Amino acid sequence: MSSDSATSLQSSINFEELQLQEIIGGGGFGQVWKATWRGTPVAVKVLTGSAQNAHIPKAVSEEFKAEINLLKGMRHPNICLYMGACLTPPNRAIITELAANGSAWDSLRLPLMPPYRVSCGAARGMAYLHSGNPPVLHRDLKSANLLLDESYTAKVCDFGLSRLKAQARSMTANCGTVQWMAPEVLANRSYDEKADIYSFGIIVWELLTRECPYEGMTAIQCALAVLNRDKRPEIPKWCPPQLHALIKSCIKTEPSERPSFPQIILALDAIE
């Protein structure tokens, strides 16, 4: 097969070739289906709302294509593998590998889910994204966006489609995202890679405690508590000192005081 043919095959998938089986998730972008494509189990993220409009603004359409190209170029053991896309409305969709064990959020309370292994995998995947030129920011890093394969290897997903996701929800929409947002993002200030570091710190807290951050609070209550009272999830006293220090450093208010992902990987390797 020529390289041009291979590129075309990866870029565009005929929606009629997908055998959708069941809904396994969703979010600001639409629904996620378990499906089969040419005999291979896959996950299909069917975009909804304005993303399916045949007459979306040209700038948004170009952004969609640009982010598809971004996904195509990602190759890392801890990044969810992009397999192709359906580009024609009303069936615009993203096709990726299917994670056998769902998301870290789904597995939080399962005894087999290894917190340390998942944390390390997530950090390595994010280090890969941030190493790009320019760095690729996730912008929506949370346990629901960490997929787990059959051996519980973490796969970072949903780091693309930022423009479409931004159109689909407001900053404090009740979609389970605010709890992971850095203060500078909640305050609608400019932000960089360190916003993802904050989100990662919340994820490590989740994996450690197997609890939902800010349980019982609404999205707006959570945002106000973080912004006005500098509130953070309470790290349990039984947490190992090195891990306690790592979480604390990741969720600092001042972005410049948070570590980078290469520094986080070194810290996690030292804990092992």
Binding site for ATP, by residue number, is 45
Annotated binding site: 45
Q: Residues 29, 31, 32, 37: is their CA dihedral positive or negative?
A: negative
Residue 104 and residue 216: Cα distance in Å, rounded? 20
Task: Judge contact between 199 and 139, C-beta under 8 A.
Answer: no
Task: Judge contact between 262 and 244, C-beta under 8 A.
Answer: no
Helix (H) or strand (E) holding 86: strand 82-86
**φ/ψ of residue 96, rounded to 5:** -130, 175
Q: Which of 206, 270, 271 is nearest to 232 (CA)?
A: 206
Is residue 106 annotated as a catalytic residue, yes or no?
no
Task: Judge contact between 202 and 233, C-beta under 8 A.
Answer: yes
Catalytic-labelled residue, pool 4, 106, 140, 269: 140
Residue 272 and residue 255: Cα distance in Å, rounded? 26
Catalytic residues, by residue number, are: 140
